[in-house]
Structure 1
Amino acid sequence: MTTATATTSSNRVTRDFEKPLWRRVLVSREMGVVALLIVVVIYSMVSVRGFGQPITVNYLLLDVAPILLIALPMTLIMITGEIDLSVGSMVGLASVVTGAGVHAGLPFEVAAFLALLVGALGGAFNGFLVTVVGLPSLAVTIGTLALFRGLAVGLLGTTAVTDFPEAWTALAKAKISGTTIPYIMVPFLILLVLFVIVLQFTPFGRGIYAIGLSKEAARFSGVHVERTKFLLFVLAGLVSAFAGIYYTLRFGSARGDNATGLELQVIAAVVLGGVSVFGGRGQLYGVVAAVLLIGVLSSALRLANVTSDVINVITGVLLVLSVVGASVLTWLQKRRQHPNRLPRPAPSAAS
């Protein structure tokens, strides 16, 4: 670690906390996403016919539930400066393991437990390659993305398993009594509270931010960098497997191609929600707002008879603008802090 790197990270944290708490909360990229979400919801309710109906809200939450779940561990991983591109494939693999277990005559609960175990092992495999072998997470998870998807397709081929217990499939789509909120939001809210507590109020969470700011400085401060990253990858695999079980029950089908491309939606939401792609910055409430924002946009545009290709283009443009906008704001902030800074002249040969 160089002195310049440590000083830059220290200054970055100090500048953040020089501002009052209300300003850090209200004048932030995350709060901007929340405000945009509110504007889009209000505009959609006024302009898009049928958007405000209870059934629309129910299907919206059912659709975004897997993304909401996986975005929680993905946020923590990306704050450390790493990434996991294999989560969508793990959803598909967990779906296939659940379906294959039920098809083989196992009780659904046993099949689901095996799927969770596979998720934890897949996450541990990613974590081992990143933290012990020392490979970059981008390369590792691109490889395991193909590996997990290949295993999923290889286990079932083109066969689809659909003979799941009706009680479980009904529960996956059921609503909380007297509301339009599906039951899947209950485990999500429990996980959200746990993740917020861990990230904001524990030494483990502070270590996650420290790793993202400077891995070397975090290690010298007593943070177990490799162990922290390993646990986060295991957690991502476990939560992805849980999302895969829900995905299977919600659609009543286990296929090798389930949740194809889901990892891109998760990463888009996390980045849009204010998590820095370089690590060291991000808040869960911004990520949750970004997931809902993308879901609301997609739902409203579908109701307005916009094709899926156009929806993907709009989502991509929104993501690019969020990344570019963050860079521009950072540049403007530096210019405002040092408006008269001029480059130092090069020393002459005579001196």
Structure 2
Amino acid sequence: MNAPTTPSTPSAPRERTPEAGQAPADGERAGRGRFLRWDTAVGALLAAVLLAGWGTTEGFAETQNLSAALNDVAEIALIALPMTLLVVAGQVDLSVASMLGLSSALAGALWDAGWAFEMIVPLCLLVGVLGGLLNGWLVTRVGLPSLAVTIGTLTLFRGLASVVLGNKAVAGFPDSYAQWAGYTETVPGTFVPYPVALFAVLAVFAAVVLHCTVFGRSLFAVGAQEDAAWFAGIRVKRVKLVLFVVTGFMASFAGIVYTLRYGSARADNGLGLELVVIASVLLGGIDFNGGKGTLGGAVAGVLLIGVLNNLLTLNDVSNEIQVIVTGVLLIASVLTPRVIAVVTERRHRRAAATPRQSPQPSV
């Protein structure tokens, strides 16, 4: 196939050359744009909430409370990392909380049957990989939309969890593992629990992958325009399959952390957690349609929801109200960028339609 020739006439110039006297204004707009990015706004909001909690709520700034607040979002944060990559690629996995529950139920059933915990962990992780493979196969090979597929596997995995463990709860897990997952044991010299420290390391790794590697650029390309990415030589199906497998793996690992942290394996563990994960990712500025977003924004979204829930709990706000707050944040995270985009586009159209007058030469 011959390489396409470059057209001689510039039908779509990459950038408009500013007229004389416009450079300062354009530079000023570029500077403002850098500080008005959605993920930057979420980070600023997180800082404001932290300051408000420190100034208005007794005990909020104590290290024990901050450690508990971080640990309360450990599972959400761990799942949010691969979910961010998945949404950037234009996909979604709503079965993550059910996979968490299935992993927890399987761990409980095997522990109750006398298995060593060192054998239970890899088996649970393998189940997560297989669940991710199922989702990825249905999306990439059968051609079904990820939203429909993962709604189905959400029900499937939760049903399997009920079959594996039934209605009983299993406790008595090894203290060494339980202490690692609980906020009583933290990284020496800090108030950071071990699961959150692991999340921080994985977040740095995920940020490098997403923003500094060819694979990360391929995710943005697939999310922005899948057909164009395929024509550019990106193996779209393989990229999607890898993302679903990693997401299933992390969801099953989060199930182990959840089980150890609460000291109880149940089939309904993590029920509804997928909505909090999605809310965190979208709140961080990840476009649900794919192709846009930053890993740092997703991390800020996770921390913001965790801090808000902790602050509401300290002020004796009920769980029902906290769920409502999460729902409002989810709607706002989807609606606000759309409104901003529409308003910005209208302003640009008005500016383009307004005739510019050339400066009159002074006599």
TM-score (norm 2): 0.87
Structure 2: distance between partners of 1:117 and 1:177? 31
User: Superposed, which structure 2 residues align to 1:323-334 within 5 Å?
Assistant: 323-334=334-345
SS in 2 for 1:222: coil
SS in 2 for 1:184: helix
1:223-269 residue CA offsets vs partner (Å, 9 max, x unmatched): 11110000000000000111011001111111100000010000011
Match of 1:266 in 2: 277
- Shift of the alpha carbon at 1:56? 0.8
- 1:231 paired with 2:217, answer no
Match of 1:103 in 2: 112
Match of 1:172 in 2: 181
Match of 2:167 in 1: 158
Match of 1:349 in 2: none
Match of 1:45 in 2: 54
CA contact (8 A) 1:274 1:287 kept: yes
Structure 1: distance between partners of 2:351 and 2:39? 30
SS in 2 for 1:281: coil
- Shift of the alpha carbon at 1:50? 1.3
CA contact (8 A) 2:86 2:243 kept: yes
CA contact (8 A) 2:111 2:120 kept: yes
Q: Which residue among 120, 129, 144 is the counterpart of 1:135? A: 144
Match of 1:242 in 2: 253
- Shift of the alpha carbon at 1:319? 2.2
- Shift of the alpha carbon at 1:339? 1.1
- 1:335 paired with 2:355, answer no
Structure 1: distance between partners of 2:30 and 2:239? 28
State percent identity of aligned pairs.
47
1:7-45 residue CA offsets vs partner (Å, 9 max, x unmatched): xxxx9x989xx9899666533000000000000000011
SS in 1 for 2:219: helix
SS in 1 for 2:73: helix
Q: Which residue among 91, 99, 109 is the counterpart of 1:82? A: 91
CA contact (8 A) 1:103 1:163 kept: no
Between the two proteins, the alignment pairs up a number of residues equal to 329
Structure 2: distance between partners of 1:91 and 1:276? 25
Q: Which residue among 185, 195, 204 is the counterpart of 1:184? A: 195
- Shift of the alpha carbon at 1:145? 0.2
- Shift of the alpha carbon at 1:98? 1.4
Structure 1: distance between partners of 2:345 and 2:244? 34
Letter paired with 1:230: L
Structure 1: distance between partners of 2:199 and 2:226? 30
Match of 2:4 in 1: none
TM-score (norm 1): 0.90
Structure 1: distance between partners of 2:206 and 2:56? 36
SS in 1 for 2:251: helix
- 1:300 paired with 2:311, answer yes
- 1:320 paired with 2:362, answer no
Cα distance, 1:122–1:25 mapped onto 2, change above 3 Å: farther
Q: Which moved more, 1:184-193 or 1:287-296?
A: 184-193
Structure 2: distance between partners of 1:279 and 1:172? 33
CA contact (8 A) 1:99 1:111 kept: no
Find runs of 4+ consecutive structure 1 residues off by over 2 angstroms: 18-27
Match of 1:34 in 2: 43
Match of 2:102 in 1: 93
1:93-122 residue CA offsets vs partner (Å, 9 max, x unmatched): 111111222222221011010000000000
CA contact (8 A) 2:187 2:197 kept: no
- Shift of the alpha carbon at 1:190? 1.9
Letter paired with 1:133: V
Structure 2: distance between partners of 1:301 and 1:161? 30
CA contact (8 A) 1:164 1:252 kept: yes
Match of 1:7 in 2: none
Cα distance, 1:121–1:300 mapped onto 2, change above 3 Å: same
- Shift of the alpha carbon at 1:340? 6.3
Match of 1:144 in 2: 153
Cα distance, 1:59–1:338 mapped onto 2, change above 3 Å: same
SS in 2 for 1:338: helix
Q: Which residue among 192, 199, 213 is the counterpart of 2:210? A: 199
Match of 2:220 in 1: 209
- Shift of the alpha carbon at 1:321? 2.1
Letter paired with 1:47: T
Match of 2:76 in 1: 67
Structure 2: distance between partners of 1:102 and 1:56? 31
